[in-house]
Chain A
Amino acid sequence: MATIRGESGSVEFETGSGTLATVVGTRSWSLSITKETLDTTVHGNTFRQFVGSLVSGSGTVELVYDPDATGQAGLIEDIVKTGDAADASFELFTTGNTNGTDSVAFGGIITDMEITSTVGELVVATCSFITSGTITSNLE
C-alpha cells in the first residue's frame, strides 16, 4: 500500500481539436461524481428501496497562472467558447501522466473561470467544469 502526495498529480486537457496534453502549472484539481437514485419502493415494502440512475460529475482545476506555460491558455480560454459542444476532454491524474492509469477521464465543459491577482500572492486561475458523457475511472 502506498499513499500519494498531491504534488505528484497532473492534469491533461484538450479543447476539442487536438490531443490530450499536460497543462503546465496546475496546482490542484478536484472532481465530485454524483449518482442520482430512483425510488423503487412499492406497497408492501417496509424499507425504502432505490436503484442507481444517471451519473454526472463536476470539479475544478486550479492553476498558478503563467501566460507562457504550455496548455494553460487552452484551458482558461475555453470558458469563452460559444456554442460549446462539450468537445473538450480532461484526464485528471492522481500520480504520473500515463493515460488510463491512476486517473479519471471524461469529456466536459468549462462552466466557470476565475482569475485572481492579489498583492503578495501569485496570480491564480481556477476553472470549474461539469462532465458530459462517460466518466472513465482508472483509480484502481
Chain B
Amino acid sequence: MAAADLNAIRATIEGRLATELASSPPLPVVFNNMPYEPTPNSSWVQCLTAFGANEYLGHGLTTSGYNRITGLTLINIFTPLGVGPGANLVIGKRIRDLYNRVIVSGVFFDAPVGPEALGSPSPEGYFQTQVRVAFEFIEEL
C-alpha cells in the first residue's frame, strides 16, 4: 500500500477517453494545459480533471490508513453550430458510457451528469454540452 499517485489517476481517466475517441469515428480531444486551435465547424472534446476533497476513512495516520480522494472530470463536447443537438448527443453517449458506474484501476466513477447544453459556449461558434463525472479513489497508506 502506498500514497495515491494522482498522475496515475489522471492518466486512467484521460486515457480511457483518449482511447475511445481515437476509435472510429475519431475525434480530437484536448486535456488540461494543452494548446489546441479547433477547426471551425468541426467536432471536438475537451476534458478537464480536477481533484477535490480528501477525507479520513480510518485509523492509522500515515500507516495502515485509508483516505477517500474525490474529484470531478468535466468533459466539454463541441459540435457545429446551427445543425441541431443530435451529433453532440451521439458523442455524449459515447463518453457517458465510458464512465457510467465503472471501476478502473481503483477509480470509482459515479453515474455521469449530462450531457447538458450550455447557453454560452466557450469558445464561441460551437454548440457545447458538458458531461460531468464525479469520481473517487480510496487511498491505502
Contact among A8, A27, A122 with B61 in the assembled complex (CB-CB below 8 Å): A8
Whether A64 is near chain B, meaning CB under 8 Å from some CB there, is yes
In the docked arrangement, what's the CA distance between A9 and B60, Å? 6
Q: Mark B52-95, 1 if CB is under 8 A from A, else 0.
A: 00001111110011100000000000000000000000000000
**Contact of A10 with B57 at beta-carbon distance under 8 Å, contacts A25-B66, A64-B66 already known:** no
**B57 x A8 contact (CB < 8 A):** no
Measured between beta carbons, the chain A residues less than 8 angstroms from B56 are 7
CB <8 Å contact, A11 and B59:
yes
**Cα A133 to Cα B122 with chains together (Å):** 70
B57, B59, B65, B140: the one within 8 Å of A122 (CB) = B57
Number of interface residues, chain A, beta carbon within 8 A: 17
CB-based A-B contact count at 8 angstroms? 37
| A10 interface neighbour in B64, B66, B140, Cβ under 8 Å | B64
| Contact flags A57-72 to B (C-beta < 8 A → 1, else 0) | 0000001101000100
**B61 partner residues in chain A, CB cutoff 8 A:** 7-8
Task: Report which of A6, A24, A122 forms a contact with B64, defined as CB distance below 8 A.
Answer: A24
Bound Cα distance from A11 to B58, whole angstroms: 11
Interface string of A4-31 (1 = CB under 8 A from B): 0011111100000000001011111000
- B57 close to A27 (CB less than 8 A): yes
CA distance A66 to B138 in the complex (A): 11
B64: chain A residues at CB < 8 Å are 10, 22, 24-25, 70
Which A residue sits closest to B60, measured CB to CB?
A: A10
Not counting A10-B64, A24-B64, a sample of 14 additional A-B residue pairs whose C-beta atoms are within 8 angstroms of each other reads A6-B59, A7-B56, A8-B61, A9-B59, A22-B64, A24-B60, A25-B66, A26-B58, A27-B57, A28-B59, A64-B57, A64-B66, A70-B64, A122-B57
Q: List 22 A-B contacts (CB under 8 A).
A: A6-B59, A7-B56, A7-B60, A8-B59, A9-B59, A10-B60, A24-B60, A24-B64, A25-B58, A25-B64, A25-B66, A26-B58, A26-B59, A26-B60, A27-B57, A27-B58, A28-B59, A64-B58, A64-B66, A66-B66, A70-B64, A122-B138
